[in-house]
């Protein structure tokens, strides 16, 4: 068990899909239906994006939900796979598989609404393609959003390992406090630099390095919570 086995990782994926594929299909169908219905009025509603965020949070917050139930926890911990392998599988599921599943369902819903618009308004446009054509995927705002989601998912995953009861609610409260302290710290640092050291960030080089520091900090914190999740899982197994 000391070495990571891709065979055991594959078996963990197989186990997950055998047990949860129906739930995932239902969630994807909900996102598809909401996106299709809210996109019929020419503009995509914020309802679908709100649902995407809620499902992301709930999924990551319940990824280790079986540990809160004694019998399921024993069955899961007794699986012939290391803690690192279990964490790797759940990390891929919560940070990559599930977001891609929901975004794909959202895009399909937008495309379906475009077909309906062709019959209703005699106008046919692939709105999701228009969205990506008009969105600068390399923009700072997009990547801050991506890194924010990664960090948020990492915190929720740690909460699902750490808390036994009410993991989602407890972790959400802790996450709100964490991000509030994080924003206050960034604001204090920027104020100190601007007032006491007279270092207002205005030049392109300063802006570039400010972005690098912000991105690096968010990535480091994401890796930090991944590590905490692994250590907590190992402690639970012991």
CB 150 within 8 A of CB 221: no
pLDDT score of 105: 87
**Mean pLDDT across the stretch 19-42?**
81
193 or 87: whose pLDDT is higher? 87
Average pLDDT on 137-160 reads 77
Give 196 or 57, the one with higher predicted confidence: 57
Highest mean pLDDT: which range of 42-46, 143-147, 151-155, 211-215: 151-155
Give domain limits for the chain. Answer: 6-237
Residue 189 has pLDDT above 80, yes or no: no
Please determine, for residue 226, whether its predicted confidence score (pLDDT) is greater than 70: yes
Average pLDDT of the segment spanning 198-203: 52
CB 162 within 8 A of CB 185: no
pLDDT of 25 reads: 92
In the predicted model, what is the mean pLDDT of residues 223-228?
Answer: 90
pLDDT, average across residues 117-136: 57
- pLDDT at position 125 is 54
Confidence of residue 195 (pLDDT cuts 50, 70, 90): very low
Instruction: Give this prediction's pTM.
Output: 0.73
pLDDT on residue 14: 92
Position 17 scores a pLDDT of: 92
In sequence order, the 6+-apart residues with CB closer than 8 A to the CB of 57 are 152, 153, 156, 168, 172
Q: What percent of the chain has pLDDT over 70?
A: 71
Average pLDDT, the chain: 76
Q: Is the pLDDT score of 96 beyond 50?
A: yes
Closest CA to 98 of 158, 54, 148: 54
Residue 229's CB is within 10 A of a number of other CB atoms, namely: 25
In this prediction, residue 165 carries a pLDDT of 78
Output the pLDDT for position 81.
Answer: 84
């Amino acid at each position: 068990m000391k070495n990571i086995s891709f065979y055991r990782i594959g078996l963990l994926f197989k186990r997950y899909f055998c047990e949860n594929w129906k739930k995932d299909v239902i969630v994807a169908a909900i996102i598809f239906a909401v996106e299709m219905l809210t996109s019929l009025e020419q503009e995509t509603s914020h309802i679908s994006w709100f649902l995407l965020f809620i499902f992301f949070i709930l999924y990551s917050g319940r990824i280790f939900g079986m540990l809160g139930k004694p019998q399921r926890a024993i069955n899961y911990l007794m699986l012939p796979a290391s803690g690192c392998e279990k964490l790797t599988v759940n990390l891929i599921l919560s940070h990559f598989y599930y977001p891609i599943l929901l975004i794909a369902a959202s895009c399909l819903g937008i495309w379906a609404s475009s077909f309906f618009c062709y019959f209703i308004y005699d106008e046919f446009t692939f709105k999701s393609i228009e969205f990506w054509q008009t969105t600068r995927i390399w923009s700072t705002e997009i990547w801050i959003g991506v890194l924010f989601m990664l960090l948020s998912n990492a915190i929720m995953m740690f909460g699902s390992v750490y808390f036994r009861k009410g993991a989602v609610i407890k972790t959400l409260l802790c996450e709100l406090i964490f991000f509030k302290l994080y924003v206050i710290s960034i604001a204090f640092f920027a104020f100190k630099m601007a007032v006491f050291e007279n270092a207002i960030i205005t030049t392109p080089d300063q802006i570039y390095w400010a972005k690098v520091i912000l991105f690096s900090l968010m990535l480091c914190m994401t890796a930090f919570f991944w590590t905490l999740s692994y250590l907590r899982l190992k402690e639970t197994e012991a």
